Structure 1
């Protein structure tokens, strides 16, 4: 099979439709496309915001609605294992992110889970009060630090930011003995830059700093090794590359070595060691279950659990190779069109530094995005001027890349994207 390394080794820069068709014929993941419901005449390049719907997810939703809830009612907590869904789905995600059993559980939202591990980590670091992050980190991550600081006061918690593209030397210099927690997102949501999890975790640990990784834009898109990298805490969402549906439950990872010492403050009844004993005082569960809070949302969690089954026979290294080859071909194709040279690539070209997306700066990025959507190519926009394209290898074909770039070139060359209707801002951008 032709891989990215083969393309780079042979210095192949000219991309043709027959060549992409050949890649599709050799693709070991090609059959996975049939596992999804995809709209006709549409190229979907926004799986990094909302994954496409697996057929198994729709089937499970019908089962839950038509049998488990409507007929079996409350018995389903036991007979259909509703009560165990957070752990069941969590174990499936564990296999995708390199976590041994019993360290990851599915629950709540990324923001809520981040608050849990952030506050837990701060409590484990007496005498340190700084949470270090990047200025370009996803806003909710930074908002959660600000919220915790407003509760504790700056004396006990303060946010320190380094520049988004700070040098390795500056980042290392910022890892001081005042820093309690290093909070990073593995793949930057705007640029698509991929950080070196193992190296940054090692640097932080050398200074006694606990590390939280946000996997929202990497889980399900590339191989992750949480245990091998000695990560302390991680969070991520279920609705992007994991294809769990809009607003799908998130997940939280806590390394087993911290389970006995950690105390998360959202001590809801589901995190109790015996929830149905209804004790008057809280006693945390002994393992990762202590990070549960309220009753699990069974409808959405059942859908996510079913969606995760599409990964059962997927080799994540093959998925990663296809992701990198798709984005490489897209950028090479874009370079072949003179009319697209105003698009400025923000994503690193080095494969080791690139997630599963490409981001381009353009003064009319929003209008370009809306014009693409209107012409059957679904991308997305990130303020202030970024056109973002996600590459989801389970259902994206190489010929889709040809159609997407060809459509983009036609819209730019004709000036179609400059029509007033494409500049009207929607509530969700």
Structure 2
């Protein structure tokens, strides 16, 4: 099929062209376009996981906790903060699942604003975020204020301004919307929330590792994110939390576990929180689950977030060119922002046939993501996705629609 863009040329001149070979690539998968759900494993991780069982777990056994494992949630958190989040040391930790850390930090934020009664969130936010705040509001008697963004966009400062009041305690918002890919104005919205004296928690699951982020510089209060998407930590790898330094001592998190106490190995009769970011850790961290993200952080550090973001924009622009040429004439709708400044690293396209089309593509080894009722998400992970994969995937969607 003749298409205007030339994927081979784009791959040949790609400054990050050496990186796709650093990921495990199965011959059964011809095009992987779901990096925003689960990233490919790195080849280094395939080797490290086996080595860890033999040398660290098998060789060091319980001594590993004293040698490095106990500090890993904080040392790895600092590395993640430096490489990806724009966060100085002592503010980021690796811990539980995204859901659990969201719960802990939302509850902690509410302890810091005890006289305020409202939580703001949008109807387009990820289900976990919405379900959690509904439960927390019921638990604590708080009022929910909803923002309703368009399906092909996300929350804007103007929409938020209409619902923020002196009763707002916390705003929960995604940096990149999980369905549309809309990239929110993190510095602008954070400043707006602070004008009314409220706190803001950013869900960075769909932006970490592909979008330039400066949590410290932009004044962000709290942030949460997973590590199995663009950070390639593997299925169920532990999430991370960020708490701005000025808030750490004033916030109380609700899941008081032994690893977050001031003296965890004293095994004392009562709980006293650690003085630093460790107070937001609860139970024993997943060491094995933290291995693969370390290898991916090494690749991110080599490439740099600005270069990764540039490739992300190029990939999504290329995908949109192909969609406009091949799919829009068939009735496909683009449900993502057209402006790259307002878009993360995935785009969503909609058509009533896409449930059937997605199933056919998976059988062919072409793997996008399906979102109900009839959306296909193309999640383009800049270090592992080639332009050729993008072209192959969109041409396959066209072929499945016209057959």
Q: Same fold (TM over 0.5)?
A: yes
Give me the whole-angstrom Cα distance separating, in 2, the residues matched to 1:168 and 1:260: 29
Change (3 A) 1:339 1:259: closer
Could you tell me which residue of structure 2 aligns to residue 426 of structure 1? none
- Quote the residue 2:172 is aligned against: 183
**Is residue 2:71 matched to residue 1:84?**
yes
Q: What SS does the corresponding residue of 1:313 show, helix, strand or coil?
A: helix
> 1: CA distance between counterparts of 2:156 and 2:59?
59
Deviates more, 1:164-173 or 1:87-96: 164-173
Runs of 4+ in 1 over 4 A off after TM superposition: none
Distance in 2 between residues matched to 1:285 and 1:107, nearest whole Å: 15
How many Å separate the matches in 1 of 2:327 and 2:273?
A: 61
TM-aligned CA deviation for residue 339 of structure 1: 7.2
Q: TM-score, normalised by structure 2?
A: 0.95
Tell me, in whole angstroms, the C-alpha distance in 2 between the residues paired with 1:336 and 1:345.
Answer: 12
Task: Give the aligned partner of residue 220 of structure 1.
Answer: 209
Quick check: 2:33–2:390 contact (8 Å CA) kept in 1?
Answer: no
Q: Structure 1: any 5+ residue segments left out of the alignment?
A: 1-13, 415-429
2:300 corresponds to? 311
| Structure 2 residue corresponding to 1:33, chosen from 20, 28, 32 | 20
Matches within 5 A, 1:240-319: 240-319=229-308
Q: Counterparts of 1:333 and 1:308 in 2: how far apart (Å)? A: 31
Q: 2 CA distance for matches of 1:317 and 1:304? A: 19
Q: If the length of structure 1 is used for normalisation, what is the TM-score?
A: 0.89
Contact 2:69-2:287 within 8 A present in 1 as well = yes
Q: Kindly indicate whether residue 189 of structure 2 is the aligned counterpart of residue 200 of structure 1.
A: yes
The answer for the alignment partner of 1:49 in structure 2 is: 37
Structure 1 residue 130 and structure 2 residue 134: aligned?
no
**Is 1:158–2:136 an aligned residue pair?**
no
Give the CA deviation at 1:386: 1.1
Alpha-carbon separation, structure 2, partners of 1:104 and 1:39: 34
How far 1:34 sits from its partner (Å)? 1.7
Conservation of the 8 A alpha-carbon contact between 2:157 and 2:192: no
Aligned counterparts of 2:156 and 2:212: Cα–Cα separation in 1: 25
The answer to whether residue 99 in structure 2 is matched with residue 114 in structure 1 is no
Q: Greater shift after overlay, 209-218 or 303-312? A: 303-312
2:219 matches 1:230: yes
Compute the displacement of 1:309 (Å): 2.0
Aligned to 2:318: 329
Determine which of 328, 334, 348 is the counterpart of 1:345.
Answer: 334
User: How far is the alpha carbon of 1:76 from its aligned partner?
Assistant: 1.5
* 1:357 corresponding residue in structure 2: 346
- Per-residue displacement from partner, 1:215-258 (whole Å, max 9, x unpaired)? 00000111111111100000000100000000000000000011
Distance 2:60 2:329 in 1: 57
Q: Does the 8 Å CA contact 2:102/2:224 hold for their aligned counterparts?
A: yes
The Cα of 1:88 is off from its aligned counterpart by 2.3
TM-superposed CA distance for 1:15, in Å, is: 5.5
Query: CA offset at residue 90 of structure 1?
Result: 1.0
How far off is 1:378 after superposition?
A: 0.5
Q: Confirm whether residue 386 of structure 1 aligns to residue 371 of structure 2.
A: no
| Partner of residue 397, structure 1 | 386
Q: What 5-or-longer segments of structure 2 have no aligned partner?
A: none
Q: CA deviation at 1:283?
A: 1.5
Q: Which of 128, 131, 145 is 2:133 aligned to?
A: 145
1:100 and 2:88 aligned: yes
Given candidates 361, 370, 394, the residue that maps to 1:372 is 361
The alpha carbon displacement at 1:336 in A equals 1.6
Task: Using the TM superposition, name which of 365-374 and 235-244 deviates more.
Answer: 365-374
Contact 1:30-1:395 at 8 Å conserved across structures: no
Query: Does structure 2 retain, via aligned residues, the 8 Å contact 1:85–1:302?
Result: no
Contact 2:42 2:292 in 1 (8 A): no
Cα distance in 2 for residues equivalent to 1:189 and 1:118:
19
Secondary structure in structure 2 of the residue aligned to 1:174? coil
2:52 pairs, out of 64, 75, 93, with 64
Moved more, 309-318 or 227-236: 309-318
CA distance in 1 between partners of 2:372 and 2:40 (Å): 23
Contact 1:268 1:294 in 2 (8 A): yes
CA contact (8 A) 2:81 2:89 kept: yes
